[in-house]
Structure 1
Amino acid sequence: MRGALDGIRIIDVSRVLAGPFCSMILGDLGAEVIKIEHHETGDETRGWGPPFVNGESAYYLCANRNKRSLTLNLKSKQGKEIFHRLVSSGDIVVQNFKTGTLEKLDLGYQQLKATNPQLIMASITGFGLTGPYKGLPGYDYIIQALSGLMSITGEADGGPMKVGIAIADVLAGLYTCIGILTALHHREKTGEGQEIDISLMDCQVSSLVNVAGNFLCSGINPKRIGNRHPNIVPYQVFVAKDGEFVVAVGNDSQFRRFTAVLGKPELAEMEKFTHNDGRLRNQSELIPVIKELMKEKTKKEWKNLLDSAGIPNGPINTIAEMFEDPQIKERNMLVKMEHPKVENLKLVGSPLKLSGTPVTMRYPPPLFGEHTESILSGLGYSSEEIIQFKQNKVI
């Protein structure tokens, strides 16, 4: 079955996570993705481990399926010529070099546009193509700090904490996908390509949504509140008889049902707790009562009761427990692929469920340079030229 992006060729010169995550999503949707790697070292994440499985790092494997790997020395004259030939037959370039790097190699958007006027280039950098920080390297950890995210993450009486994943990279990858799909739609109507300027910093600031909104409306700097919600009560972690459990009561109707499940319906009748604004003001009185009641049953017992009452809830799963969850299995969020070196390769599935053009898992994450010769042959290079490229360290 053809994917929604079948016929779209992406030349991916990005490394690490944000760019590869973006191009993998587009590859899942049917696009052809050619992953260009440094001819000697490849994508840095190939060495990010342990864990490794038969020499392949788990970090690299997580973001590089549905791609073919071409090694290329972009500093060499012949390497640049090969890249231009690829661009002439391509639709999109995804890159995350520091601002100005490709321009110094004569491979920037304006230079490539001369080769392919309809080209779309998505440039992912730490701080964007403009501004006083444009030349600085941008790593997820630094972005989490500068964006304010760490200042609101963690317990109230503890220090600032980073999120447990490279969230700035993930968000940038998703925003880049949105930008690329938008640019493709625009090109379909006008025939015009364009450059997309994506900054990890911008994406992380955008993700602050209601927390930033609260500050902009009140002028009060948000503080760390741990697992509680700044605007909703009760909306936090409680300790059941056998472990930690989250309850998220989103409105007054849910609170009435929640108190009934707790066996304390009178709480919802008390004026100071009837409405959310009162619960927020008086949470120091309400929460200790709920905490004591939550200790009376197991996580499974609470889940059955709260699910029946329509109260959002759930145990705090480990990653192993999450993958055993029947919902995760039913939704195909764990997929298996054949791989030349990794037996029974398991990867996280795609959350995109399209009825007419479903995602497909066509290629496992490629070995380093696995498709170099076949891609170059497809561009019209002869076997003799490819041998010469190897001898000249072009590939």
Structure 2
Amino acid sequence: MMLADFGAEVIKIESPAGDDTRAWVPPVDHHGRGTYFASVNRNKRSVVVDLNTDDGLAYARELTAECDVVVENFRPGVMAKFGLDYQTLSAGRPDLVYCSISGFGTGAGSALPGYDLLVQALGGLMSITGSPETEPTKAGVALVDVLTGQNALTGILMALRVRDTTGHGQEVHVNLLSSLLAAFVNQGTATLATGNSPARIGNAHPSIAPYETFRTRDGLLAIAVGNNRQFGALTEALGLNSLTEDPRFRTNELRVASRVPLKRILEQALETDSAAHWQAKLLEAGVPAGKVNDIGEALALGHSLGLEPSVHFTDPITGRSSVQLANPIRLSASPATYRQAPPTLGEHQGSTFISISPNTRGSA
């Protein structure tokens, strides 16, 4: 979808049963479409191809012969069975960029099913998400899927840039587990350096304090103090100037060691007024702070800041309207466009918009 937003012609090949996410409901939008499927399938054309038939395979090979990029996420080995793997296709198309997305790689983990929840569990993300008093918790969205998709996008674009220079394509491979492990950044590096896996500490930060959520009179407030100057501004705004001279809190390292008593002292002051009050006062004092919004409030904030986080457009062919989250990448000369609503299953079967010819390029 990211590629399609910026002009790529994307042909989504679906089995006769359709993409599994079409059935992941509720919720549905005002057209009765599942919002999960709709969230990642705009600007794509849908054709139904049964790869278990000779005609289906012939059509798929015809499509791949003319596309710049092939993206697949079957289990490793399935595309080779169909003769649609990189080695087979690149023999006739040395400029092909071919992206494979798997759950756990092509080796010993190739048989493991690549579901986001499973990777969050096996990959360790759940072990550091949640409070010490609760069970391990998954992220509130399919975060590993999103990370892996972004890595796939980056890999494809880099491979295309190399092809611009050399004329040769290549295979791009990303997997869910590696994408998650690489995203652990400081937590992963700490584990490698110390041999100790970090524990769940709720909204606190393992290396910075105060850097978490705090109770106010009517809700939670996130405060992100990253240095001594900000800590001084925080204590002054709260009328707690003496804390900067308290031997427990003079440096960030000391504050991390004394996080619990520090939080207790800060909350005693913060609970005297509302989250909105303290947000305004702390921001004015130069202290990073913000109340914990729900998604609706967060979207409203984005709009109030002129960030245009959502778009409402109408498909000029079908007349279907769609409300979508906007593409976050802003290009000054060639911005994202919103042309096609998420397709119905097989909507573009036999469509004249899908032309297979040597002159058809810029497609995936």
Q: Is 1:263 the counterpart of 2:239 in the alignment? A: yes
Q: Does 1:236 align with 2:212?
A: yes
Superposition map of 1:1-395 within 5 A: 24-38=1-15, 40-53=16-29, 54-130=31-107, 132-327=108-303, 330-339=306-315, 344-375=321-352, 378-379=355-356
- Note the C-alpha offset of 1:260: 1.0
Q: Please give the secondary structure, in 1, of the residue aligned with 2:137.
A: coil
Report the TM-score when normalising by structure 1: 0.86
**1:69-105 per-position Cα deviation (integer Å, ceiling 9, x unaligned):** 1111122222222222212211001110011011111
Distance 2:61 2:148 in 1: 26
Determine if contact 2:130/2:137 at 8 Å carries over to the other structure: yes
Number of aligned positions between the proteins: 355
**Does the C-alpha gap of structure 1 residues 233 and 327 become closer, same or farther in structure 2, counting only changes over 3 Å?**
farther
1:318 maps to a residue whose letter is D
- For residues 283-331 of structure 1, the C-alpha deviation after alignment (integer angstroms, 9 at most, x for no partner) is 2322110010111121111111111122111111111212222546611
Cα shift readout 1:183-206 (whole Å, capped 9, x = no counterpart): 001111111111111110100111
Q: What secondary structure is seen at the aligned counterpart in 1 of 2:140?
A: coil
SS at match of 2:200: coil
Residue identity in the other structure for 1:303: Q
Structure 2 counterpart of 1:245, one-letter code: L
Letter of the aligned partner of 1:220 in structure 2?
Answer: N
- In 2, the alpha carbon distance for the partners of 1:136 and 1:165 equals 21
State how far apart, in whole Å, the 2-side matches of 1:26 and 1:299 are. Answer: 40
1:116, 1:292 → 2: CA distance?
67
Alignment partner of 1:272: what SS?
coil
Q: Conserved in 2, the CA contact under 8 Å of 1:147 and 1:204?
A: yes
Residues 1:77 and 1:328: Cα distance change in structure 2 (over 3 Å): farther
Distance of aligned partners of 1:172 and 1:328 in 2 relative to their CA distance in 1, 3 Å threshold? farther
- Aligned partners of 1:201, 1:364: CA distance in 2, in Å? 31
| Alignment-mate amino acid for residue 194 of structure 2 | S
Deviations 1:94-130 (A, max 9, x none): 1100110111111111111123221111100101122
TM-score, with length taken from structure 2:
0.93
Aligned-pair CA distance for 1:221: 2.1
The code of the aligned residue for 1:166 comes to A
- Alpha carbons 1:211, 1:222 under 8 Å: kept: yes
Q: Which residue of 1 aligns with 2:361?
A: none
Which amino acid counterpart does residue 334 of structure 2 have in structure 1?
Answer: T
- For 1:220 and 1:50, locate their aligned partners in 2 and report how far apart those are by CA, in whole Å: 41
Distance 1:373 1:201, change over 3 A: same
CA distance 1:342–1:314, shift in 2 (3 Å): farther
Are 2:147 and 2:180, in contact at CA under 8 Å, matched by a contact in 1? yes
- In the aligned structure 1, how far is the partner of 2:158 from the partner of 2:186? 25
Deviation at 1:25, TM superposition (A): 0.8
Cα distance in 1 for residues equivalent to 2:162 and 2:177? 26
Gaps of 5+ in 1: 1-23, 381-395
Per-residue deviation at 1:255?
0.6
| 1:317-370 C-alpha deviation (Å, 9 max, x unpaired) | 111212222546611111112158896421111110111221111221112111
8 Å CA contact 2:321–2:341 kept in 1: the answer is no
Whole-angstrom CA distance in 1 between matches of 2:347 and 2:321:
19
- Residues 93 and 161 of structure 1, relative CA distance in 2, 3 Å threshold: same
Closer, same or farther: CA 341–45 of 1 in aligned 2, 3 Å: farther
246-255 or 72-81, which deviates more: 72-81
Deviation digits for residues 196-254 of structure 1 (CA, Å, limit 9, x no counterpart): 11110100111111111111122222111011111100011111111111111111111
Contact in 1 for aligned 2:214/2:263 (Cα 8 Å): no
Offset at residue 140 of structure 1 (A): 0.8
Q: Could you say what the CA RMSD is over the residues aligned between the two structures, in angstroms?
A: 1.8
Residue number in structure 1 paired with 2:360: none
Structure 1 range deviating more: 199-208 or 262-271: 262-271
